[in-house]
Copies of this chain bind each other. A is one copy, B any other.
Amino acid sequence: MLFLREEELRLAQDMLFFAYRDFTHAADEVLDGLELGRAHHRALHFIARMPGMSVSDLLSILGITKQSLSRVLTTLIEQGYVVQAPGRVDRRQRLLSLTAKGAALERQLFERQRDLLLRAYRDAGSTAVEGFRRVLRALTDETGQAHLAAMEAAARELRARSA
């Protein structure tokens, strides 16, 4: 009984490894041709999710150091994917957003992963999808859950603004 339970958990470790790997791999193929890596993709993704976010917000979400982000962000800005604008309320901040070129690349990367996800969701069914989300959310710590809530709020706001 305990044995079966442990096997289930070990299998979950396996599955997380393979699924995450294949999922990120989908975008890698696009990135490879552009001299960009996964770190650039992650930055693009979250800037797309919350346009106008500050550098420190992004740092907190990615959980890396300022110096690590710096390299990535410098490249993205130099190559015209991302722009910075001083904050209106706090002018020390440099608020990040995507250029048209950046948005186009982000969409291309998104679509690769979207196709994978859509196929998986379709194969697994809507009940399974709901469960998938519940477990993923429960696996995420408090900080991560706060970030997730911020993502959802930002998406709602974008939707309201564009409507």
> Which segment of A51-59, A92-100, A136-144 sits at the interface?
A136-144
Contact B136 A16 (CB under 8 A): yes
**Copies of this chain per assembly:** 2
Contact B14 A114 (CB under 8 A): no
Total chain A interface residues with beta-carbon distance under 8 A: 57
Q: Is A63 an interface residue (CB 8 A)?
A: yes
> Which segment of A67-75, A77-85, A116-124 sits at the interface?
A116-124
- 9 shortest interchain CB distances as A-B pairs: A131-B131, A128-B131, A120-B138, A18-B144, A132-B135, A128-B134, A19-B139, A124-B134, A15-B136
Contact B22 A148 (CB under 8 A): no
Contact A20 B9 (CB under 8 A): no
* A residues at B contact (CB < 8 Å): 3, 6-7, 9-23, 42, 45, 49, 63, 110, 113-114, 116-121, 123-125, 127-141, 144-145, 147-148, 151-152, 155, 159
Grouping DSSP codes into helix (H, G, I), strand (E, B) and loop, the A interface class, with mixed when no group exceeds half, is helix
Alpha-carbon separation in the docked complex, A12 to B128 (Å): 13
Contact B15 A159 (CB under 8 A): no
Contact B131 A130 (CB under 8 A): yes
Q: Which of B3, B23, B134 contacts A159 (CB 8 A)?
A: B3
Contact B117 A12 (CB under 8 A): yes
Alpha-carbon separation in the docked complex, A19 to B136 (Å): 6
Interchain nearest-CB distance for A138 vs B (Å) = 4
Nearest residue in B to A140 (C-beta to C-beta)? B18
